[in-house]
A and B are shown apart, each in its own frame.
Chain A
Amino acid sequence: MPGTTIVEDIELIIEDIGGGGGKLPPAGGDDGGDSDKRRGPQRPSSRRYATAIVIAIVSIVMFFMAMASAYIYLRAANSNRWVPLHLPWIIWVNTALLLLSSGAMEFARRRLARADVAQFRKLWAVATTLGVLFLTGQLLAWRQFVLAGFYVSSNQASSFFYIFTGLHGLHLFGGICALLYVSFRKFEKAKVSRAVAAEVASYYWHFMDGLWIFLLALLYLGK
């Protein structure tokens, strides 16, 4: 297709962004070497993992947005018969744990950027442990909720409480698996470098963090 100068310009830019031009992978690395590495598509470029996690996050956002919009819709439609929700206190402890976990992960990645693998491992383990504690705490919250007499079928508010915490927990469990992978994988043999794996896992982990805050805000404001 014959292109005008502007179109050619755009093509050059797009080529640079996308088509094999070789954008910097998230982990770094210089342009020339990287584009050489990308020549063999059989060797997976690290970029695909970062792209995939971003797209997966978009998909998960849509999933929870559908649920959140259902919540807002039913909350508004039933405003006069909505049974208020008393969030168990342990929820707030859990939230703090999850935030700390995200923080620990960022410190761990800074260590890794300075090639301090030993410190990275320690901080990464802290982040993972905090994640596991969060999940345990969520189970305790369910226990508190049950003891208070609220079951899945009690009312719409409690149905939403269980489905939000349950599905977030399920997604977070996947995150914990990813963190354990980064901890225990021998990266000498792996297709990705430790930095890339840690980065991709951290995208997801921080997203889980933000998603939890959003869901909690929804439950708290809607009670």
Chain B
Amino acid sequence: MVTYPSGGSAAPETPTPGFLARTIFNSGHKVIGLRYLWLALGSVLLGMFLSLLMRIHLVWPTAQIPFLSGFGGTPERYAAVTMLHGSLMVFLVLTTAPQAGFGNYFLPLEIGAREMAFPALNLFSFWATVASLAGMTAAFFVPPDAGLTLWTTSVALFCLAALLTALNFTVTTLDLRAKGMTLPRMPLTVWAWFINAILSILIFSILLAACVFLLSDRLLASQFFSPLTFLSQQPASLAQATLLSLWQRLFWFFAQAEVYVAMLPCFGIVSHLLSTFSRKPVWAERAAALALCAVGLCGFFVWGQHMFSSGLNPWSPLVFSLLASSLGLPACVLLLSWFGTLWNARIQLNTAMFFALGFVSLFLAGGVSGLSLARNDLAAVAVSDDFVTGHFHLVMGVAATFAILGALFFWFPKMFARRLNEALGKLHFWLTFAGVYCVFMPMHWLGLIAHARAARSGLAAVSVLGPSFGTPFDASPYTSLRTLVTAATILTIAAQALFVFNFVWTMWRGEKIKDPNPWRATTLEWTVSSPPAIDNFGATEPMVYRGAYEFSAQGGPEDFAAQNVAPAPPEPPLETRQAAKAGRGEN
């Protein structure tokens, strides 16, 4: 792992740590946050490569790919590629980058703390995550039976790491805030990280339990997911469908909420970016914070929407359908808050803002198809083929990636005291933005076509694996659409080279930023040097006097007021506070 001297030359009383203390055992929150970002960057590149393999195989199933022809062209290998792609993207990119990556780096800075609550625990979490990444990747290369055991163990380890990270985030936010950083004054990023940590605490325990069951079944021959379980109860036609019902319940209880674990920090980041670059306060900030809480809460009630076809009680699809649709409400509140922020604003269209706007667009586009998946009657048409793939890649995968990229462009000057090239960044944005729409929008259509065909030929429940597995689809609109998706995938992935080049070049030669606050932003991380000192705030003790989004200020040289700027008349009125305290003491 690459380490960056995040400290600079501050903290004179600290003795210079040894080599191991600086590298492997460095528990500084900024160092760990950066390492998580590196981990996510590596994983996203590998994951994109795998998606390229899958798309090529779907369109040209006989194509021989160099290096990989030895892996065999069996459906099992294809499933293994899909599994590795999904594991890397969901766990190591979408879960890790916005929360553990940016969160570890900026949560203490934004709340005015010098370190996470439990640095050693944080270090352990990081290395456990690295080990789980290694395990998931290695599982691909070993025989399927051992591979599944290894994969499950790695996921369990990842759960443990995520739980400890979430514990750290929760305690840090609750107990380490600077003086004056009240809950309403917390930036929405902090709100999102905090709610996300609570959500993670609750759901990763569930996945951990499911993994323990599965490992126990595989290694100790216990009977939790015993295939005989349901056969005695169900009619034979239903037995097949309900075979894995318990695993499905445990898994989807986790996995549907996991979508919000990936998205919540992105919501926070996007609100933050839109406000900063609109030079306006977040519109309806409290409603937005409450909507974040509501998203976290609703995430618990929707697991059944993945199980409409698994032989549930006939009433429960209706209930789950209503609950899943109700998620649209907090999503609408967030969207309204974003549009309200943008309304009549003097928008600064830099790359970070472009990515934030791209997020809003993708979230909206993907969310609309989500509504049809949430309805049990419509979902019958859509589930288990390309429609659902298109939906969740658009709304979760790509939208979250846009938020991560926006955050990277936004915080890059703080982390590295350099600025990513704007022209390259904008070109990368437009190519990626057009590319992902060309990849994932046609997928919705593909799903509907495939379903219509299956229904016509009387195979209502057949899932479509594609031409490579002998499904007799040869008509041209289907095939040409698939080819279009693959071509768009190749171009979109090629466009990422622009980003990688921009990143590497900027690290090496990029434009240096002396100003600690190049974006004229309000939160505490912009009040310290770039990169921040090891103890973040040096000798000064951060004090917070105002909310996180005080833009459009009147009558000063600047149009914003940083959170640590004391208002002109000395505040807070001490008497009022003491009176309030005394008043409560009497009750």
Contacts and interface: CB of A to CB of B under 8 A. Distances in A.
B182 A42 contact: no
Given A66-B209, A152-B222, A163-B216, A19 B181 contact: yes
Residue among A13, A15, A155 with max Cβ neighbours from chain B (10 Å): A15
A33 to B, nearest CB: 16
B208 to A, nearest CB: 6
Contacts of A56: 167
26 contacts: A1-B184, A1-B285, A1-B547, A19-B179, A19-B180, A39-B179, A39-B541, A41-B113, A41-B176, A48-B176, A52-B171, A59-B163, A59-B166, A62-B201, A62-B205, A62-B206, A66-B210, A70-B209, A70-B224, A70-B246, A70-B250, A74-B246, A77-B229, A152-B221, A153-B222, A156-B224
Would you list the 8 A-B pairs with minimal beta carbon distance, nearest first?
A: A66-B209, A159-B222, A153-B221, A62-B205, A63-B205, A20-B179, A19-B182, A15-B182
Interface string A11-34: 111111011100000000000000
B216 A159 contact: yes
B587 interface: no
A7 B213 CA distance: 47
A66 B202 CA distance: 10
Interface in B139-172: 163, 166-167, 170-171
A76 to B, nearest CB: 9
A9 B580 contact: yes
A14 B180 CA distance: 10
Nearest to B250: A66
B230 A66 contact: no
Contacts of A58: 201-202
Interface residues of A, number: 49
B461 interface: no
Interface in B542-587: 544, 547, 549, 576-577, 580-581, 584
Nearest to B579: A12
Interface residues of B, number: 61
B281 interface: yes
A152 B220 contact: yes
A206 interface: no
Interface in A201-215: none
Interface in B187-205: 201-205
Given A18-B174, A19-B180, A19-B182, A163 B250 contact: no
A52 B205 CA distance: 16
A174 interface: no
A63 B177 CA distance: 29
Contact of B202 (A62, A78, A155): A62
A140 to B, nearest CB: 20
Interface stretch (B114-122, B385-393, B462-470): B114-122
B244 to A, nearest CB: 13
A59 B226 CA distance: 27
A12 B577 contact: yes
A127 B221 CA distance: 36
